[in-house]
Chain A
Amino acid sequence: MTAFMGYERGNDRPGVRNHVLIVPTVSCSLGLSELALRRAAEEVGKGRVKLLRNLHGCGQAGADLEQTTRTLVNTALNPNVYAAIVVSLGCESVDADRVTDEIAKHKPAELVRIQDLGYSRALDRVRSLAKGFVEEASRQARREFDVSELVVGLECGGSDYTSGLVSNPLVGMVSDMVVRAGGSTIISEVPEFIGAEHIYARRAVNEEVRSQVIEAVRSFEEWLKREARVDFRGAQPSPGNIAGGITTIEEKSLGAVKKSGTAPVSGVLGYAERLGDRRGHYLMVTPGYDIESVSGMVAGGAQVVLFTTGRGTPTGHAVAPVIKVTANPDTAKALGEVIDYDASPVLDGRKGFEEAARELFDLLLRVASGQLTKAEELGQDDFGIFRIGPTF
């Protein structure tokens, strides 16, 4: 099986979901958006309308404001989104007209501004727009697409010793399968390259990309040290990583980069930068914090995310299915409700890597074709934006 059933998106890659997305441009319009989401769900059912729980959008300036704006726009441009409803307060830093216009170049998008309409009218407008878009979206049927149309995000969170030994190498094998089929994968979490960047950079397609990889890691490390003015060893590895047996950031990184497999590194993307037509394996500059990292890759165009975890996490994303993999037998048992693929038989030698990689690849295609992940069933619609400046 090397095909999946997705939703046509014109010139863009196909979607693996057909969501109507509510995009509050600022946390001030999040409350009304939440209420509209609940009311819309009562009418059209759960899971049809999604909400970006944006906690930023005001008191921001410069590159930081630009990054927040880009993340909101590009998340709505993810192929999994059929249409977007932008909900603005009216006085925030983010330019809601620009957000709406940029989304509208590619798909249906409407703007609702609370200060223009009044609270109740704005609420009812969001609800009725959502209902109308869901009706439109439900007229679209899935059709077959080749794996080469997939962009897969590669993430690890709550790592322990099993991540570097089994689940990350396993995801790396699946990444290679996707790239070999002509598809794309994105790895992120630049701080988790510290100590392993030289190994990853060897796979760069040319000298320019090689130096971009090295520079991405160097500048992120310098930025962290300068901003935090403390050893980041208290944060990387995290206390949970250390309890799980990981001693240093180098050890964590060497395990983490195994998610990227062996494919050539085709380029480096900025945070939430759209991959567009580019194919192959890419590195995106994101922090190691799972929510902001996954959100960056989904904004970049990842329709599905493969997420390895040692200690277990329920996380998902509002727009993209997140497939969680663990090789820790205790976690597979204790947190089975949040794990999509149990790789612990590989850890204890009962199953080979090749067999597990084929199973995980098949699961990836089934999820791309509509099978819900545990995070989707649980309503784990996470979203977070990587801030790079102060709040004024």
Chain B
Amino acid sequence: MGWGQGTARAIVVDAKDNVATLLTDAKAGEAVELVGSVRGAVTAVQDIPRGHKIAIASIPRGSYVFKYGEVIGVATADIGVGQHVHVHNVDSLRGRAP
């Protein structure tokens, strides 16, 4: 059995996460069904490609982004629910030049 057809879907790996990973492309305005550790739905506010992350909670600038229940970086801008979360609004906490 697959997840079914006709809705954008995203997987939440850990209940602590504030992002979900899209299993299908999502179009702006489209409802995204959440599967995995959190069930529910969010609305994509912009086009987001499959494999990329969508915010499932608001993430204020300077606060941590969680995936796998762990910190994957820090928000460099205020991120609203349904926004694309990627290199344009998240920075790594590691690997900076001295």
Complex formed: what's the CA distance from A195 to B95 in Å? 10
Pair B95/A245 contact, Cβ less than 8 Å: no
Complex formed: what's the CA distance from A164 to B11 in Å? 12
The tally of residues in B whose CB lies under 8 Å from a CB in A reads 32
Are A251 and B86 also in contact (CB < 8 A) when A232-B95, A245-B51 are?
no
Q: Is A342 an interface residue (CB 8 A)?
A: no
Contacts of B53 in A (CB 8 A): 245, 247
Pair A251/B73 contact, Cβ less than 8 Å: yes
Task: Find the A residue at minimum CB distance from B52.
Answer: A245
Choose one: B1, B23, B93, B96; the contact of A250 (CB below 8 Å): B93
Pair A348/B92 contact, Cβ less than 8 Å: no
- Which chain A residues in 198-226 approach chain B with CB under 8 Å? 199, 221, 224-226
Per-residue contact bits, chain A 163-179, to B (CB 8 Å; 1 contact, 0 not): 01100000000000000
Pair B90/A199 contact, Cβ less than 8 Å: no
Complex formed: what's the CA distance from A350 to B23 in Å? 14
Complex formed: what's the CA distance from A357 to B67 in Å? 24
Distance between B82 CB and nearest chain A CB, rounded to angstroms? 17
Q: Is B71 an interface residue (CB 8 A)?
A: yes
Q: Is B81 an interface residue (CB 8 A)?
A: no
Pair A230/B97 contact, Cβ less than 8 Å: yes
Choose one: A165, A232, A245, A247; the contact of B13 (CB below 8 Å): A165
Pair B98/A226 contact, Cβ less than 8 Å: yes
Secondary structure class of chain B's binding surface, majority of residues = loop
Contacts of B67 in A (CB 8 A): 251, 254
- Which chain A residues in 99-157 approach chain B with CB under 8 Å? none
Q: Is A55 an interface residue (CB 8 A)?
A: no
Contacts of A245 in B (CB 8 A): 21-22, 49-53, 86
Are A349 and B1 also in contact (CB < 8 A) when A162-B51, A247-B53, A254-B72 are?
yes
Residue from A225, A251, A350 having most chain B Cβ neighbours under 10 A: A251
Pair A196/B70 contact, Cβ less than 8 Å: yes
Distance between A345 CB and nearest chain B CB, rounded to angstroms? 9
Complex formed: what's the CA distance from A350 to B52 in Å? 22
Contacts of A236 in B (CB 8 A): 95
Pair B86/A229 contact, Cβ less than 8 Å: no
Complex formed: what's the CA distance from A382 to B94 in Å? 31
Complex formed: what's the CA distance from A348 to B3 in Å? 6
Pair B90/A247 contact, Cβ less than 8 Å: yes
Q: Is A42 an interface residue (CB 8 A)?
A: no
- Which chain B residues in 22-79 approach chain A with CB under 8 Å? 22-23, 49-53, 65, 67-68, 70-73
A-B contact pairs, 8 of them (CB 8 A): A162-B51, A195-B92, A195-B93, A231-B95, A245-B49, A245-B51, A250-B92, A348-B2
Q: List the interface of chain A (C-beta within 8 A of B).
A: 160-162, 164-165, 194-196, 199, 221, 224-226, 228-233, 236, 242, 244-245, 247-251, 254-255, 347-350
Choose one: B1, B23, B73, B94; the contact of A221 (CB below 8 Å): B94
Contacts of A244 in B (CB 8 A): 51
Are A249 and B95 also in contact (CB < 8 A) when A165-B11, A254-B68, A254-B70 are?
yes
Choose one: A224, A228, A247; the contact of B72 (CB below 8 Å): A247
Complex formed: what's the CA distance from A159 to B53 in Å? 15
Query: What 16 additional pairs, Cβ within 8 angstroms, besides A161-B50, A254-B68?
Result: A160-B51, A195-B72, A221-B95, A225-B96, A229-B98, A245-B49, A247-B73, A247-B87, A248-B73, A248-B90, A248-B92, A248-B93, A249-B94, A250-B70, A250-B73, A348-B3
Contacts of B86 in A (CB 8 A): 242, 245, 247
Contacts of B97 in A (CB 8 A): 225, 228-231
Contacts of B1 in A (CB 8 A): 349-350
Q: Is B8 an interface residue (CB 8 A)?
A: no
Complex formed: what's the CA distance from A236 to B97 in Å? 13
Complex formed: what's the CA distance from A349 to B4 in Å? 10
Choose one: A161, A199, A248, A349; the contact of B3 (CB below 8 Å): A349
